[in-house]
């Protein structure tokens, strides 16, 4: 479904991604972990076409690395960004409507809205509230709900668990798993390595803008170096 081939991204003279390659199959849930500054968020921005890329990114065999961000969204690649980036002055309902801004299929929009409300019932209860009045957990639910309203084929999630309580984080884990099982391919970036590895089928570990290690989740959990560095085990 997605092929990222030997890409490089620069911020000025600093290199953020240095020959990075990953791939995703249809209906996979793939995780990305790594230390701060490894290039995790930059990778998602590169796929979203909001940073200039050297190299190739293909989606269902079509190059997207030279397209505009709105074209990438139309193709079904949706980025749920770090720190939510909600329209704070809009209501909950208004944010969800903005998620469906490019869509014309009214029946499909209604169906997806029902799915969002079933996934996060609190959003229906808070429909008329401004986004900036919500708790951090509710804002994260809204950010995910807005992404679903864009009808993703590939949903990229950047640090969805950051700043959340354990109870809300567990709810988030269940919601991500539900979204994936509904048939949406998920690319998950999160600092919580335990959360990412427990959810994902495969995981890439980034180091200094490159893939340092890649494998199935259970394989990485049995790797002594990975256990020591990322899970404080051993």
Give the model's pLDDT for residue 229: 72
Q: What is the distance between the alpha carbons of residues 218 and 203, in angstroms, rounded to a whole number?
A: 10
Tell me if 102 sits within 8 A of 44, measured CB to CB. Answer: no
How does pLDDT run across 137-176, given as a tens digit for each residue?
999 999 999 999 999 999 999 999 988 899 999 999 999 9
Q: What is the CA radius of gyration of the chain?
A: 17
Tell me if 52 sits within 8 A of 221, measured CB to CB. Answer: no
Q: What is the mean pLDDT of the chain?
A: 93
How does pLDDT run across 59-90, given as a tens digit for each residue?
999 999 999 999 999 999 999 998 888 999 99
How does pLDDT run across 11-28, given as a tens digit for each residue?
999 999 999 999 999 999
Question: Nearest CA to 42 among 60, 20, 25?
Answer: 20
End-to-end CA gap in the chain: 37
Give the model's pLDDT for residue 83: 82
Q: 120 phi and psi, to 5 degrees? A: -130, 80
How does pLDDT run across 91-136, given as a tens digit for each residue?
999 999 999 998 999 999 999 999 999 999 999 999 999 999 999 9
Give the model's pLDDT for residue 233: 42
Q: What is the distance between the alpha carbons of residues 70 and 216, in angstroms, rounded to a whole number?
A: 33
DSSP per-residue codes, 145-199: HHHHHT--SEEEEESTTTT--HHHHHHHHHHHHHHHHTT-EEEEE-S-HHHHHHH
Quote the tokens at residue 149. 């309203």
How does pLDDT run across 171-220, given as a tens digit for each residue?
999 999 999 999 999 999 998 888 998 899 999 999 999 999 999 988 88
């Amino acid at each position: 479904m997605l092929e990222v081939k030997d890409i490089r991204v620069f911020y000025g003279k600093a290199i953020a991604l240095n020959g990075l390659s990953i791939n995703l199959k249809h209906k996979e849930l793939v995780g990305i972990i790594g230390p701060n500054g490894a290039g995790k968020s930059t990778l998602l921005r590169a796929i979203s076409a909001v940073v200039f890329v050297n190299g190739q990114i293909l989606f269902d065999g079509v190059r997207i690395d030279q397209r505009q961000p709105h074209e990438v969204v139309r193709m079904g690649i949706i980025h749920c960004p770090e720190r939510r980036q909600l329209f704070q002055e809009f209501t909950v309902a208004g944010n969800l409507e903005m998620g469906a801004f490019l869509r014309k299929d009214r029946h499909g929009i209604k169906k997806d809205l029902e799915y969002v409300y079933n996934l996060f019932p609190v959003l229906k209860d808070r429909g008329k509230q401004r986004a900036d009045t919500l708790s951090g957990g509710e804002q994260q639910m809204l950010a995910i709900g807005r992404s679903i309203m864009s009808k993703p084929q590939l949903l990229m999630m950047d640090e969805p668990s950051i700043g959340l309580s354990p109870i809300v984080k567990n709810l988030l884990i269940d919601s991500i798993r539900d979204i994936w099982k509904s048939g949406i391919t998920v690319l998950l970036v999160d600092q919580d390595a335990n959360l990412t590895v427990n959810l994902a089928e495969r995981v890439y570990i980034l180091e200094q803008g490159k893939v340092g290690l890649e494998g199935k989740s259970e394989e990485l959990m049995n790797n002594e170096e990975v256990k020591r560095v990322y899970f404080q085990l051993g």
